[in-house]
Amino acid sequence: MLILRTPEERFTDLADYPFAPHYTAIQTQDGSDLRIHHLDEGPADGPIVLCMHGQPVWSYLYRKMIPYLTQAGMRVIAPDLPGYGKSDKPAALEDYTYEVQVEWMGKWLEKNDFSDITFFGQDWGGLIGLRLVVNHAHRFNRVVIANTGLPYNPDISAEVIKEVEDFRANSPTPSLAQMQRALSQMAGNQATKFAYWQKFCWESADMPIGFMMSMTMEQRSNLTRAFKFMLHAAGIRSPLPTQLAKAYDAPFPDASFKMGPRAMPSQVPTLPTSPSMEEQRKAWAFFDHFEKPFLCAFADNDPVTAGMAIQFIERVPGTKGLPHTTIKGGGHFVQENEPEQVSQAIIDLIRST
């Protein structure tokens, strides 16, 4: 397996990221060494909060939440998934599957021997982290999720399957604007709309990650946004980059390092024909009987995951009687937009249970 490692100097002088790195080496299926990075902040004897990020970001996403949690006495563990952040980056498409990410992070978890964990996950952090809860249940005391899911859709019609597969195989690569428009209209047939994100990521060899995160997370005037989009459309991958854009670009010195962010959306099991469907079925069977505290803290304005909290609240016994929180104005990346609200939900759950 060809594994790339981002040079450390790419991470010097990042805004608001003063945290010491910690590294764990695990072995892949072919015997290669894979180094996984994590943050470890707060009192060593504090309750552990395991914070897992999604795609295409990294543990930088948690820099605003960490102070709230550590000041409340929590120990924050925030890993970078393989392919992201300071973790190693396997270089081939076939290196990335949902199941192998669950396996790699399970090995990382076991090697560090973390236990009595409160899990927090958003986006892919939820997809992978919830499966860690299934596979290593004795290590977890509580679960908090935001803007994520546990996709399992066995009943989608053959017509929709054909439509999505034909779109992904034969349609032109969507532009950044077309992709964003589709994601903003996820209500209804989510598999069809999400296919725009899957296709855009895979077919954009040099995904403009910093630019996309800046335009998603940072408040800008309509004129500034239009000007930046015009420059991007003219061929400038990251026009007038902010400190935040630079931070989200930092893990990727060139396009060859971006296989993880490109490949992972296509691994989301949105169709009955998707990989991981049987493992997802088993995971839902586990959570149908999960009685430990399970809190939902979804944003009120994330079109990608709107309505997904209901499935957990209706099915997971551990959700009963808890004050499920709506993160006001959180957007998709609640950690960036409303870190205090999310942190307080986690702190209150730990203190009350």
Q: Which residues are catalytic?
A: 123, 302, 332
> 39 by DSSP, 3-state: which?
strand
Residues contacting residue 227 through CB under 8 Å, at least 6 positions apart: none
DSSP tag of 58: -
Per-residue exposure over 21-42, b if at least 16 CB sit within 10 Å of its own CB, e if not = ebebebebeeeeebebbbbbbb
Residue 44 to residue 90: CA distance in whole angstroms: 32
Residues contacting residue 38 through CB under 8 Å, at least 6 positions apart: 22, 23, 24, 59, 77, 78, 79, 80, 108, 112
**Residue 122, both tokens:** 């958003």
Q: Which helix (H) or strand (E) holds 298?
A: strand 294-299
Residues contacting residue 275 through CB under 8 Å, at least 6 positions apart: 97, 98, 99, 267, 269
Nearest to 149 by CA among 310, 320, 289: 310
> 332 by DSSP, 3-state: which?
coil
Q: 299 — phi, psi (to 5°)? A: -75, 155
Residue 75 to residue 209: CA distance in whole angstroms: 29
Residue 40 to residue 62: CA distance in whole angstroms: 12
> Would you say the C-alpha torsion 324, 326, 327, 332 has a positive or negative sign?
positive
Residue 104 to residue 107: CA distance in whole angstroms: 5
Q: 154 and 280 in contact (C-beta within 8 Å)?
A: no
Residue at 261: amino acid letter = P
Q: For tokens 């855009």, name the residue.
A: 200
